[in-house]
Amino acid sequence: MKKYTNTSDITSLANLVDEAIALKKNPFAFESLGKHKTLVMLFFNPSLRTRLSTQKAAQNLGMEVMIMNISHDGWVLEFEDGSIMNNASSEHVKEAAQVVSQYCDILAIRAFAGLTNKEEDYNEKVINAFVQYATVPVVSLESATGHPLQALADAITLAENKVKQKPKVVLSWAPHPKALPHAVANSFVEIMQLQDVDFVITHPKGYELDTKITEGVMIEYDQKKAFENADFIYTKNWSTFNDYGKVQSQDKNWMITQQKMQGTNNAKFMHCLPVRRNVVVEDAVIDDKNSLVIEQAKNRTFAAQIVLKRILENSNSPLKRA
Amino acid sequence: MKKYTNTSDITSLANLVDEAIALKKNPFAFESLGKHKTLVMLFFNPSLRTRLSTQKAAQNLGMEVMIMNISHDGWVLEFEDGSIMNNASSEHVKEAAQVVSQYCDILAIRAFAGLTNKEEDYNEKVINAFVQYATVPVVSLESATGHPLQALADAITLAENKVKQKPKVVLSWAPHPKALPHAVANSFVEIMQLQDVDFVITHPKGYELDTKITEGVMIEYDQKKAFENADFIYTKNWSTFNDYGKVQSQDKNWMITQQKMQGTNNAKFMHCLPVRRNVVVEDAVIDDKNSLVIEQAKNRTFAAQIVLKRILENSNSPLKRA
Amino acid sequence: MKKYTNTSDITSLANLVDEAIALKKNPFAFESLGKHKTLVMLFFNPSLRTRLSTQKAAQNLGMEVMIMNISHDGWVLEFEDGSIMNNASSEHVKEAAQVVSQYCDILAIRAFAGLTNKEEDYNEKVINAFVQYATVPVVSLESATGHPLQALADAITLAENKVKQKPKVVLSWAPHPKALPHAVANSFVEIMQLQDVDFVITHPKGYELDTKITEGVMIEYDQKKAFENADFIYTKNWSTFNDYGKVQSQDKNWMITQQKMQGTNNAKFMHCLPVRRNVVVEDAVIDDKNSLVIEQAKNRTFAAQIVLKRILENSNSPLKRA
């Protein structure tokens, strides 16, 4: 693996998931792989799970980890080519990415969507600039339009918990008071298309995701109908894509309730967290034995660890050193 | 030791102090104990001594350490059961505590008193929620009403510096411009009751601490009288308990001066730091050879280290693994 | 080496540079030197290069690293002797420096110039207070008037890239929208005087640096003339020294352009970064193959590493332990 900024960087999801599950049983098996290797994590946005699980994953592999909240602790970065930097930004990403690359072996970055400029977000201005200028492999800790480590953790959790060959998986929108990015939903849609599942998306009309991502996926506007026979309910709020970054609906009828879960095939409940209880999902659902949210968060460590392991193996390979 | 959020988690203070003093002489003696073990420290409030000494203590034991200023770097947490999370808070402590537990072996938390809601503070809303939901041992890095690591460091310092079997120890209130929590004072009162000292508290009328904590302790409102024959003067400001969280007095006559120290039995001076010079204590006292404040801060490392060691030993024990 | 807060702490620059270049080839050669040793880094100001390169340098030597953004995470410090601390500051540097020294083996500090009080800045109030009260060696991560780690990295870069025995090196002021400290310029001037170079400073009239530092150095107010036959152009903005801390000029004619570089002896371009593109320097110059800015940043690691190594060796020496 040369980088991991998108689910499309995965060649064989099944292999990746299998190896991650093996790491989970024996997290320190490859602790010499990361010796003398350093992971730098740059955060433009808050993080709890991603930060701690990725740091843990790197340490399990014997890596050193250096973390910066770059918005608070560093300099304001410029991303435009040719700009006259006479205003707020003190440093161009060209320098920042090249410089930081010299202090580490893998560079991980979190940079959320701004949700004001669709083109800028969907062009992945920030993470793509780091990919362009960095001289070491880049890992996304959630970018404007994708959260591939979350999606991989979700795939691991699904593999561990499915009881039939081809389960029915439903991605359901749920209400939320704030405008949220599409990153988690996008990457989940993508990774579901890499495996053998009966996949359905349900959301209110107007909440269609980017059709380039959902092409070929069944969309069912009737949440109740979508839930029928479902084995997994994956819930997530997102803001509108077409009328970009808006909260068009806070319709409480879309909240995931115990009653709705009873209309499924005893489905497992999934959410990436953080989750607003009794807005996105009822207490009764998230506290139920069928809730996988804590296990999903646990699997963040092993998703990150398998990605870091693959990148280290690739950069350690004799061919690359030659 | 299963957790350390309160001085009541101590079974034998004398043993703990002895072993801490032994660690101080040989800090790396148990550096394999923490191999493959991780300490997470979550800070809701500022910290200098606690943060650095606890990190050092964990590293002395060979642990990995992951630190978050959770108020700045993470999500706003919700603590109420059953709340409809439609406002500021993005994540419930139920999830946060369970999730973070999966990334570490010990979870340490600093969460100061708000000083506006006495019941909430004295019910230890924050740290008790983490104790309730975490699945790993929890350590207090100062909670709303206690600072047990500071108290343990104080006990170590006292043991190292006492020259008679049963010294007279005086806890003296001193003035301060801001309303401060009771945490340090409470835990000091508690730990003094776990050893053979002649213990007296002195403060202005109206500054009584929680009587559940001071029950049986002599209170002397005349500071001068309290200081007579004292071997240790431990100074600390706190806000009022009864009229909760107020600054009722800034009476400069309560500042610790050289003249007052001359009325003692050549007493050692103690303070947990940070201290406001010439408000709480005169320069002449804190700069004197009888001042133990720097040694107290040094002992924070070994207080933390003995606590972490005991917790690691407990969780490593064959019985626990079975 | 007993400390490194000033270029005057260097005894033999040539030896230091040679050894740094050797470390660059074999960064982990001395990884047992820092075993059981801890570096604390305290930041009063933002940092990217300094923070990451110094952390990396310490880890290359096998040290543990503990980092605090002391302005955000810690307490407001007091620096005046004898002050009555009844206002903003909660802790005196006397305590802070002594306390932190107990948690580490080397203490590194970044504290920029305030640029409002010349005397306070040029007396190095902050870093000198830490040097005075700390009980471990202190390293500057940029102080009010010097940036000796940057200067050492610059000397390494110069040594690696010079093609003649005595190159002509020009330090050129360039425009900038904000008032910047003199630290980088001062330390660069000092370190140029420790080696055999033909050194010239060029800046607009009124931008003279402290004459105590530039004594004996040629100053040429005509930038074009200064650039003639130059082998290295080192660019940096600084605010005025005499009329302290002011932006007297933003004259775009002082920006470093490709045209101006053509008036040199095919000079290499140097800057400490972060740099404002097309304000301080044209894209064409910084993106040219003659630009050394990325290499300079890389050498920050080895400048820090040789300094930490020398300090560790000194404090490990039998004489010191005796």
Give the tens place of pLDDT for each residue, B301-317: 999 999 999 999 998 77
DSSP letter for each residue of B232-284: EEEEE----TTTTT------GGGSB-HHHHTTSSSPEEE--S---BTTTB-HH
Mean pLDDT in residue range B166-187: 98
Q: What percent of chain B has pLDDT over 90?
A: 94
Q: Does A26 touch chain C (CB under 8 A)?
A: no
| Helix pair angle (B148-161, B183-192), 10° resolution | 50
| Stretch 196-255 of chain C: residues touching chain B, C-beta under 8 Å | none
Structure-token pair, residue A79? 């991303």
What whole-number distance in Å separates Cα of residue A99 and Cα of residue C273? Answer: 10
The pLDDT assigned to A319 comes to 56
Give the tens place of pLDDT for each residue, B220-265: 999 999 999 999 999 999 999 999 999 999 999 999 999 999 999 9
Residues of B in contact with C88 (CB under 8 A): none
What whole-number distance in Å separates Cα of residue B294 and Cα of residue B288? Answer: 12
The pLDDT assigned to B319 comes to 55
Residues of B in contact with A301 (CB under 8 A): 102-103
Contact A43 B73 (CB under 8 A): yes
Buried b / exposed e across A8-36, counting CB within 10 Å, b at 16+? ebbeebeebbebbeebbeebeebeebbee
Residues of C in contact with A104 (CB under 8 A): 52, 56
Residues of C in contact with B142 (CB under 8 A): none
Give the tens place of pLDDT for each residue, A38-85: 999 999 998 999 999 999 999 999 999 999 998 878 788 999 999 999
Which residue from B46, B177, B275 is facing C95, i.e. has the nearest CB?
Answer: B275
Cβ pair A146, A175 in contact under 8 A: no
Among A85, A89, A94, A132, most C C-beta atoms within 10 A, so best to mutate, is A85
Cβ pair A260, A237 in contact under 8 A: no
Give the tens place of pLDDT for each residue, A262-312: 999 999 999 999 999 999 999 999 999 999 999 999 999 999 999 999 999
Mean pLDDT in residue range B123-142: 98
Cβ pair A235, A227 in contact under 8 A: no
Q: Is the Cα dihedral A140, A143, A148, A153 positive or negative?
A: positive
Q: Which residue has the tokens 């120890």?
A: B169
For chain C, the C-alpha Rg in angstroms (whole number) is 20
* B25 dihedral zone (left: phi>0; alpha: psi -120 to 50; beta): alpha
What whole-number distance in Å separates Cα of residue A51 and Cα of residue A300? Answer: 10
Give the tens place of pLDDT for each residue, C219-263: 999 999 999 999 999 999 999 999 999 999 999 999 999 999 999
The pLDDT assigned to C315 comes to 87
The pLDDT assigned to B122 comes to 98
Structure-token pair, residue B104? 């570490």
| Per-residue tens of pLDDT for chain C, all 322 residues | 999 999 999 999 999 999 999 999 999 999 999 999 999 999 999 899 999 999 999 999 999 999 999 887 878 899 999 999 999 999 999 999 999 999 999 999 999 999 999 999 999 999 999 999 999 999 999 999 999 999 999 999 999 999 999 999 999 999 999 999 999 999 999 999 999 999 999 999 999 999 999 999 999 999 999 999 999 999 999 999 999 999 999 999 999 999 999 999 999 999 999 999 999 999 999 999 999 999 999 999 999 999 999 999 998 776 544 3
Q: State the first-to-last Cα distance of chain C, in angstroms, to the nearest integer.
A: 17
Residues of A in contact with B95 (CB under 8 A): 273-275, 293-294, 297
Q: Which residue has the tokens 């706003």?
A: B76
Residue type, C142: E
Residue type, C157: T
pLDDT at A258 over 70: yes
pTM of the model: 0.97
CA A111 to chain centre: 12
| Stretch 184-203 of chain B: residues touching chain C, C-beta under 8 Å | none
Contact C274 A95 (CB under 8 A): yes
Q: What percent of chain A has pLDDT over 90?
A: 94
3-state secondary structure of B182: coil
Q: What percent of chain C has pLDDT over 70?
A: 98
Contact C301 A70 (CB under 8 A): no
Structure-token pair, residue A73? 């602790």
Question: pLDDT grade, residue A321 (50/70/90)?
Answer: very low
What whole-number distance in Å separates Cα of residue A40 and Cα of residue A105? Answer: 8
Give the tens place of pLDDT for each residue, A183-236: 999 999 999 999 999 999 999 999 999 999 999 999 999 999 999 999 999 999
Domains, chain C, with CATH or none: 7-146+299-321 (3.40.50.1370), 151-296 (3.40.50.1370)
* C82 dihedral zone (left: phi>0; alpha: psi -120 to 50; beta): left
Residue type, C140: S
Q: Which residue has the tokens 């807060």?
A: C5
